[in-house]
Amino acid sequence: MSDVLTVTDFSVDYLGEQTVHAVRNVDLTLGRGEILGLAGESGCGKTTLAYGINRLLKPPAVITSGKAVLHSREGTDIDLGSLTGEELRAFRWDRVSMVFQGAMNSLNPVISIRAQLEDIFSTHRPAMSKADRRTRCGELLERVGVDRNRLKSYPHELSGGMRQRVMIAMAMALEPQIMIMDEPTTALDVVVQREILLEITRLRDELGFAVLFITHDLPLLLEISDRIAVMRAGELVELAPAAQLYNSPQHAYTKLLLGSFPSLTGERAAG
């Protein structure tokens, strides 16, 4: 499997009276079509790393070292740190898209689903005709399991699972090479969560994009990921295929994470 993204010696600090080293010297690769899970407790730097890769950090966050390089379909390498202005705006969503934490609440409440989807194409594909935009929006909704009649709906008229599916449709609208998903199922009940996970893996298999899936839920990652990276206090402490990490974790922190989830089988622990 060839790589679509290479992250080398990547560090991010939050500057202030007392500087916080949020991400420290992370080395990471993402293979084409791979689902790479990024696990760790809240505050360990997972989201900061993702925002840094996608150039979404805001002050006082500063990338202090390293780089992230996209290996494009055309065979060229793009240093994400070198992109500025219009180049960076065009790059986002087209090459690397993101489903944000709390994405269900990211939709504009006073604009229809159709208008919000069409805005992506009018901004990034201005030559596309209105008829083609509308057709494409309907196809996108159906691809994520939502009836195209919902295009006329407003976000408050959709369930939480439907809103999350709309956000996934937006993220894949321009057929990016990489989709970064930050806690995409946290606010969903377990049944809807399962449906969303199956949808993500199906779409990955169908369209071939790579996924960086961020969550503190390690059992969830064990189910859907090809490989899992574990972060602690800003550092990458372990990276291994999912089955290997589960059966033979090497780092003490990974063992603690695995041990923090109750087993569904075995003897009842003494209370």
Residues 6 or more apart whose CB falls under 8 angstroms from that of 181 comprise 98, 99, 171, 200, 211, 212, 213, 214
Domain CATH number, residue 58: 3.40.50.300
**Count: domains in the chain:** 1
Q: Where are the alpha helices (DSSP H) in the chain?
A: 46-53, 85-91, 113-124, 130-143, 160-172, 190-207, 218-224, 242-247, 252-259
In a domain, 89, yes or no: yes
Q: What domain range includes position 217? A: 3-104+182-259
pTM of the model: 0.92
* pLDDT at residue number 265: 64
In a domain, 223, yes or no: yes
In a domain, 122, yes or no: no
pLDDT in tens, the chain (271 residues): 699 999 999 999 999 999 999 999 999 999 999 999 999 999 999 999 999 999 999 999 999 999 999 999 888 999 999 998 889 988 888 999 999 877 667 899 999 999 999 999 999 999 999 999 999 999 999 999 999 999 999 999 999 889 999 999 999 999 999 999 998 887 788 888 888 889 999 999 999 999 999 998 888 899 999 999 999 999 999 999 999 999 999 999 999 999 887 665 656 655 5
* pLDDT at residue number 268: 65
Rounded distance, CA 134 to CA 25, Å? 44
Please count the other Cβ atoms lying within 10 Å of the Cβ belonging to residue 207.
Answer: 13
* pLDDT at residue number 238: 97
Structure tokens at 128: 């596309």
In a domain, 137, yes or no: no
Q: Are strands 35-39 and 96-99 parallel, antiparallel or unpaired?
A: unpaired
Structure tokens at 179: 């989709």
CB 182 within 8 A of CB 101: yes
Q: Are strands 77-79 and 178-182 parallel, antiparallel or unpaired?
A: unpaired
Rounded distance, CA 62 to CA 49, Å? 11
In a domain, 191, yes or no: yes
In a domain, 86, yes or no: yes
Concatenate the DSSP letters of all residues of 80-128 into one string: GGG--HHHHHHHBTTTEEEE-TTGGG-S-TTS-HHHHHHHHHHHH-TTS
**In angstroms, what CA-CA distances link 2 with 5, 34, 49, 190?**
9, 10, 22, 34
In a domain, 123, yes or no: no
* pLDDT at residue number 48: 97
**Among 166, 171, 191, 181, which Cα is nearest to 225's?**
181
Rounded distance, CA 112 to CA 254, Å? 43
Please count the other Cβ atoms lying within 10 Å of the Cβ belonging to residue 26.
Answer: 24
In a domain, 15, yes or no: yes
